[in-house]
C-alpha cells in the first residue's frame, strides 16, 4: 500500500540544522518502497523526505531483490531527499548529526571473504526452510521461524549447497547496507534477534544455543563457531561506525556528502515500528501493516510454552518481545483497491489512490459485522501460522451470503487481520497483558476504519498517532538522533564533570544515561496527539463469527495451493 510523505517542516530552524550538520537521516528499505527521512533538532519535525518504489522478484522459486536495485533505490531516495531539502530549505546537506539504516528483517545474505554475494538474497518471504526450522526448534527448545537467518543457513547446510564452505559472514539487508557504508559488520539487537536467538541478560546471541548449534552443525559451517559468521550485536544508542568516503559516494555519487557522520546500529523494520509507535516498554505493543503484517508485544515475563505462532525477538534496547508475524498483509487489499480505481477511471470519474482508499474504507463501515458471510484470504505467499507453504488469494462465499460492496471491502479488511488474530489469541491464552496497542501503516490513514476493525479483531483498544503513516524511515531517524543525543550528552557531561552537573547535559535531548523509552516519551512524543478507539462489542462478535468461518475455510485455501499450480 502506498503511504504518503509526511508534511515536512520548513523554516530557518530546519535550514540551520541541515546547514550545521545536526539533522538526522533515516533510510529504510521496505518491501515496496525505499524511503529517506530527515528530522531536525526536535525529532518529531520531519524536514524532508525522498522515496523509491520497488518490489521483490520471484526467481527460481525464491523471493529476492537484486543488490543492484538496492543501491539504485537508495541513491534515488537520497537524491529525492536532497531535492526536497533544497526546495524547502534552500540549502544542500554535506553532513548529518547521525544516520540510521533499517530494512526488512530476517532472510539470508551470505558473503565470501572477498565480500562477494554467494547466492541471491533470500528474503523473509521464502518458506523453503521447513526441515531446518523444525530441527532447530526442537534442538533449541524455542520457536525458530522459517524466515529467520539461522533457518536459511541451516537449510543450506542440510541441502549441502555448494556455497556453504565459502561463507565468511552472513547478515540481514540492513546489516549489509550498513557494512557497505561504514565497513562495520554489526547489527542492532532487534534485527539480530531475527537472525539467531538473543539472551536479553547479555544483549548478545544466546551462548548456550550457539554451542548447541555448533554441535548440531558438526563442522558443516566454516569457522570455529557459527558465532564467527554473525554480525556483532549493538543496542540502541551505541555508535556503530562512521560513514566512509566510499560509503558517502554510495549514497551521494555527486560527492557533496562528506564522510565522517556517525551511524546508529542498523535495525529491522520491527524495531523501527516499535520506535515509531512509542511501544518499547513492557506491556506495550504495536501492529505494523504493510506487505506483511505483524504485532510486537514487549513482555514483562517469559512465556510458559513454545508456540509456533510466536517468535521471541527484542526491542532495539534489548528487551524481550513476542512477535506474531504474518507474511501476507495489505497487498491483496491494495490490488483490489487498484482495480476499483481503474473502474472509476474507465467510467470517466478518475480518483487518485488516496481517494479510492478513503471511499472504499468508509463504505466498509456500512457492511455487516460478520462481512455478510464473505471470506477473504489474502495469501499471496506462504503463511506458516495458517499452515500454508504457498499462497492462493481467494474470495469465498456461500450462496446465501450477502455480496455487497460494503461487505466485500469489510471482508478484505478483516482478511488483513485474520491470520494475525489467530496468533494474538495464542498470546492472550498465555496471560500476556497489553496496556497500550499502537497501530501504524498506510491503511490506518483513513480515520476510524481499519483502526476500528483491528480493535474489534483483537478485542483491545487500538491507538494511532499522527506519525502512524511516517513509518520506519522516521523510526530509524529517531534512533539515529538518539545515538547522537547520547554521544552529545556524554561529551557535555565529561566536559563539565569537574565543575559539577551541567543541566543541559541532563536534558531529554542530551541525557548520558537516558533509556530509550524515556527518550521517546519525554522528548519525541511529548507533544504528539494520540487517537484511541475502543472495541465495539458488535464488531467483536461479528469478527469472531468471521474468524470461526475463516479458520474452517483454511482447508479450502490448502486445497487451492495443492490443486492450482
Distance, in Å, from the CA atom of 387 to the CA atom of 555, rounded to the nearest integer, reads: 10
Domain 331-466+535-563, CATH 3.40.50.300 — does that match? Answer: no
Percentage of the chain surpassing pLDDT 70? 93
If you ran DSSP here, which 8-state letter would residue 108 be given? B
Fold identical between 106-171+196-229 and 331-466+535-563? yes
Contact 438, 328 (CB under 8 A): no
Mean pLDDT over each residue of the chain, to the nearest integer:
91
Q: Which pLDDT band holds residue 503 (cuts at 50, 70, 90)?
A: very low
Q: What is the 3-state secondary structure (H, E, C) of 259-306?
A: CCCEECCCEEHHHHHHHHCCCCCCCEEEEEECCCEEEEEECCCCCCCC
Q: What is the pLDDT of residue 341?
A: 97
Separation of CA 31 from chain center: 9
* pLDDT at residue number 505: 31
What are 101-138's pLDDT values in tens digits? 999 999 999 999 999 999 999 998 888 999 999 999 99
The tens digit of pLDDT for each residue in 164-178 reads 999 999 999 999 999
Longest dimension (CA), the chain: 81
pLDDT of the residue at 37: 96
106-171+196-229 classified as CATH 3.30.420.40? yes
* pLDDT value for 113: 97
Residue spans per domain, the chain: 106-171+196-229, 331-466+535-563
The 3-class secondary structure across 488-544, one letter per residue, is HHHHHHHHHHHHCCCHHHHCCCCCCCCCHHHHHHHHHCCCCCEEEECCCHHHHHHHH
Strand 24-29 and strand 98-103: the pairing is parallel
The answer, yes or no, to whether residue 535 has pLDDT greater than 60, is yes
Question: Do the strands 284-289 and 198-199 form a parallel or antiparallel pair, or are they unpaired?
Answer: unpaired
Triad 133, 135, 141: Cα angle to 5° = 90
Asked if 140 contacts 214 with a C-beta cutoff of 8 angstroms, the reply is no
Lowest pLDDT segment from 165-174, 269-278, 343-352, 357-366? 269-278
Q: Is the pLDDT of residue 496 over 90?
A: no
What is the value of pTM for the model shown?
0.83
Would you say residue 9 has pLDDT above 90? no
Q: Where is average pLDDT lowest: 19-23, 344-348, 433-437? A: 433-437
The percentage of residues in the chain with a pLDDT greater than 90, rounded to a whole number, is: 80
Q: Which residue did the predictor score with more confidence, 251 or 7?
A: 251
pLDDT reading at 452 higher than 60: yes
Contact 281, 275 (CB under 8 A): no
Amino acid at each position: 500500500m502506498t503511504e504518503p510523505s509526511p508534511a515536512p517542516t520548513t523554516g530557518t530552524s530546519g535550514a540551520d540544522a541541515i546547514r550545521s550538520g545536526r539533522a538526522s537521516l533515516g533510510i529504510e528499505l521496505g518491501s515496496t518502497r525505499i524511503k529517506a527521512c530527515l528530522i531536525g533538532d526536535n525529532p518529531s519535525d520531519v524536514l524532508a523526505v525522498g522515496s523509491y518504489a520497488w518490489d521483490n522478484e520471484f526467481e527460481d522459486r525464491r523471493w529476492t531483490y537484486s543488490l543492484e536495485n538496492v543501491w539504485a533505490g537508495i541513491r534515488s531516495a537520497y537524491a529525492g531527499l536532497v531535492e526536497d531539502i533544497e526546495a524547502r530549505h534552500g540549502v544542500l546537506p554535506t553532513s548529518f548529526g547521525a544516520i540510521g539504516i533499517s530494512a526488512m528483517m530476517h532472510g539470508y545474505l551470505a558473503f565470501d571473504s572477498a565480500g562477494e554475494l554467494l547466492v541471491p538474497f533470500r528474503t523473509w518471504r521464502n518458506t523453503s526452510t521447513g526441515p531446518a526450522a523444525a530441527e532447530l526448534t526442537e534442538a533449541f527448545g524455542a520457536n525458530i521461524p522459517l524466515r529467520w537467518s539461522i533457518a536459511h543457513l541451516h537449510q543450506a547446510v542440510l541441502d549441502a549447497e555448494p556455497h556453504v564452505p565459502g561463507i565468511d559472514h552472513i547478515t540481514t539487508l540492513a546489516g549489509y547496507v550498513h557494512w557497505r557504508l561504514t565497513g562495520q559488520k554489526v547489527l542492532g539487537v532487534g534485527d539480530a534477534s531475527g537472525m539467531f536467538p538473543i539472551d536479553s541478560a547479555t544483549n548478545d546471541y544466546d551462548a548456550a544455543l550457539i554451542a548447541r548449534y555448533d554441535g548440531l552443525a558438526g563442522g558443516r559451517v566454516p569457522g570455529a563457531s557459527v558465532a564467527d559468521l554473525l554480525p556483532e550485536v549493538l543496542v540502541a544508542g551505541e555508535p556503530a561506525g562512521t560513514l566512509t568516503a566510499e560509503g558517502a559516494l554510495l549514497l551521494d555519487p555527486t560527492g557533496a556528502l562528506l564522510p565522517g557522520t556517525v551511524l546508529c546500529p542498523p535495525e529491522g523494520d520491527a524495531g523501527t515500528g516499535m520506535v515509531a509507535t512509542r511501544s518499547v516498554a513492557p506491556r506495550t505493543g504495536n501492529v505494523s501493516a504493510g506487505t506483511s503484517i505483524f504485532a510486537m508485544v514487549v513482555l514483562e515475563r517469559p512465556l510458559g510454552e513454545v508456540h509456533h505462532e510466536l517468535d521471541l525477538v527484542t526491542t532495539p534496547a534489548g528487551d524481550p518481545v513476542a512477535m506474531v508475524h504474518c507474511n501476507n498483509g495489505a497487498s491483496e487489499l491494495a490490488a483490489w483497491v487498484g482495480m476499483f480505481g481503474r473502474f472509476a477511471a474507465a467510467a470517466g470519474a478518475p480518483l487518485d489512490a488516496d481517494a479510492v482508499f478513503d471511499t472504499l474504507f468508509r463504505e466498509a463501515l456500512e457492511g455487516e459485522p460478520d462481512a455478510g458471510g464473505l471470506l477473504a484470504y489474502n495469501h499471496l505467499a506462504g503463511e506458516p501460522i495458517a499452515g500454508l507453504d504457498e499462497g492462493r488469494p481467494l474470495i469465498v462465499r456461500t450462496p446465501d451470503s450477502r455480496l455487497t460492496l460494503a461487505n466485500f471491502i469489510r471482508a478484505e479488511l478483516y482478511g488483513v487481520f485474520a491470520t494475525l488474530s489467530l496468533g494474538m489469541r495464542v498470546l492472550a491464552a498465555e496471560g500476556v497483558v497489553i496496556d497500550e496497542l499502537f497501530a501504524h501503516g498506510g491503511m490506518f490513514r483513513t480515520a476510524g476504519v481499519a483502526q476500528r476493525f483491528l480493535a474489534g479483531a483483537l478485542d483491545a483498544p487500538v491507538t494511532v498517532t499522527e506519525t502512524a503513516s511516517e513509518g520506519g524511515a522516521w523510526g530509524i531517524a529517531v534512533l539515529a538522533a538518539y545515538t547522537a543525543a547520547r554521544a552529545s550528552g556524554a561529551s557535555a557531561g565529561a566536559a563539565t564533570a569537574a565543575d559539577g552537573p551541567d543541566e543541559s547535559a541532563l536534558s531529554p535531548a542530551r541525557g548520558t544515561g537516558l533509556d530509550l523509552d524515556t527518550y521517546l516519551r519525554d522528548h519525541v512524543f511529548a507533544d504528539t496527539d494520540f487517537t484511541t478507539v475502543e472495541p465495539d462489542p458488535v464488531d467483536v462478535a461479528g469478527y469472531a463469527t468471521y474468524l470461526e468461518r475463516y479458520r474452517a475455510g483454511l482447508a479450502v485455501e490448502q486445497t487451492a495451493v495443492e490443486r492450482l499450480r
